[in-house]
Structure 1
């Protein structure tokens, strides 16, 4: 059994629970601190209450190289409004007190190193967090984090891209728990009119290497796209569309967008 099948994975359990209901998982991303810290906490709770199975929260970072314009602008606004990394763990603690779905933190690696890998893992665990998505570190460079996650039971989620070699996919599958973050297109996050067909091929390659849970992100912005992705993947990850809805429509706009996207999971293929 691959590490993804670890019985202690709250993230894998949430995906399996969605499958038991005959649908795929909806994973929603929001930046912490946007438009302000308390509203971002309320927005995360509302996203969970509006149909998300797993939350993915992004601490703002000063050099967000993988993020598209909408998310970059939101994170820059959060930093301008005074967000600091020390705000992350109290925010996660308040969110996890109010909801019972897993809360992942998607973070660039430098802030984790600056904070201290073991200290970060301990503080995230104490706050009720479920694990980390680390987009800019590869498993072979993440030994300290892999050790810390094994010690704490936190999920560790690495990225797989269409350009990844078979050797790379094998390493990512064997190093990830919860799910493998499957990048649908190369480049920055954002919405795409059509998802890259490479995502379907990449999920098939991950399955061949033993991936039990593969979730697709980057470019998904409509319920129809959620349904399309869940034809072959275990979960659909949406960020930009939710951030835009919060920016333009406040909490009500976010809730409406989340409910619409969650509806896209219901017509997905049966999951076993």
Structure 2
């Protein structure tokens, strides 16, 4: 399996930041989501794709997801997506040569079985998990399972995290650290969040060897360029999902042209 950290360090070796892209499995359908994920990786894109893919698992009660991702996730659940579909999504991404991590609320892994999920994710070629509602203090089962299967553990910190919490979270993780740049739910924003540089500076001071990706709000190439001026990666989710919702609402759920155009813009942004 490919390391998710390797995607960030490879971009750094090229003198640029990395682009991490999120899409949920199952929207606009399971096959349609696999095609969209491959587009994130550069399939049909005029230029490179993302460096790392986050595959989201739709959840019925998402705490952090804004209205865009909630809407897509609700439709995916209504259209029959299941937890096991995420492993086919991982395989689709890995077939392009791009590493993949799964972003999921912990209840879905717990219901599946932590050890079984880790086993099946590793067998599919996945690099690890991003767990937004799981803190290291409560992650003993996941730490053991991820160690057993060589999977990355990506935990989150926010502007409200104390120095002690940032240091402990970085120490417990493996791969990289997800810095949420604003308080609140996900969603695109008109400008880059002002708290993000300060948060990343704190992480650099407290855990200088930790790779950092910044998410929640990036929606265009200019913002991505701003983020990778101080972080190792820019994370984009809602902006990608918006293109799929617009195509679905227009009666053309298979139209990935807007998604591909946004991938090209963002990939150019992290290369400036």
Q: Work out whether the TM-score is over 0.5.
A: yes
- Number of the residue aligned with 1:248: 246
Point out the more displaced range, 162-171 or 13-22: 13-22
Name the SS for the 2:84 alignment partner.
helix
Cα offset, 1:251, TM superposition:
1.2
- Number of the residue aligned with 2:39: 46
- Number of the residue aligned with 1:66: 64
Alignment of 1:173-184 (within 5 A): 173-184=170-181
Confirm or deny: 8 A CA contact 1:9 1:177 kept in the other structure.
no
- Number of the residue aligned with 2:27: 34
Residue of 175, 187, 192 corresponding to 2:189:
192
Alignment of 1:129-148 (within 5 A): 129-148=126-145
- Number of the residue aligned with 2:267: 262
Q: Determine the C-alpha separation between the residues in 2 that align with 1:120 and 1:162.
A: 31
What is the root-mean-square deviation in Å for CA atoms of aligned residues? 1.2
Q: Determine the C-alpha separation between the residues in 2 that align with 1:145 and 1:9.
A: 19
Q: Determine the C-alpha separation between the residues in 2 that align with 1:169 and 1:84.
A: 33
Unaligned runs of 5+ in 1: 1-7, 268-272
Displaced runs of 4+ in structure 1, greater than 4 A?
none
Cα offset, 1:17, TM superposition:
0.9
Confirm or deny: 8 A CA contact 2:26 2:32 kept in the other structure.
yes
Structure 1 residue 208 corresponds to structure 2 residue 205: yes
- Number of the residue aligned with 2:114: 117
Name the SS for the 1:242 alignment partner.
helix
Cα offset, 1:93, TM superposition:
2.2
Confirm or deny: 8 A CA contact 1:125 1:154 kept in the other structure.
yes
Confirm or deny: 8 A CA contact 1:15 1:235 kept in the other structure.
yes
- Number of the residue aligned with 1:5: none
Alignment of 1:222-237 (within 5 A): 222-237=220-235
Confirm or deny: 8 A CA contact 2:54 2:101 kept in the other structure.
yes
Q: 1:246 to 1:74 in 2, by over 3 A?
A: same
Cα offset, 1:246, TM superposition:
2.1
Provide the aligned length of Structure 1 versus Structure 2: 259
Q: Determine the C-alpha separation between the residues in 2 that align with 1:231 and 1:74.
A: 31
Cα offset, 1:248, TM superposition:
1.9
Confirm or deny: 8 A CA contact 2:55 2:86 kept in the other structure.
no
Q: Determine the C-alpha separation between the residues in 2 that align with 1:148 and 1:178.
A: 15
Cα offset, 1:9, TM superposition:
6.8
Structure 1 residue 12 corresponds to structure 2 residue 5: yes
Q: Determine the C-alpha separation between the residues in 2 that align with 1:91 and 1:196.
A: 31
Q: Determine the C-alpha separation between the residues in 1 that align with 2:96 and 2:11.
A: 16
Residue of 78, 90, 93 corresponding to 1:92:
90
Q: Determine the C-alpha separation between the residues in 2 that align with 1:230 and 1:87.
A: 32
**Cα deviation 1:126-162 (Å, max 9, x = unaligned):** 0111100000010010011011111111101000100
Q: Determine the C-alpha separation between the residues in 1 that align with 2:2 and 2:121.
A: 15
- Number of the residue aligned with 2:18: 25
Name the SS for the 1:67 alignment partner.
coil
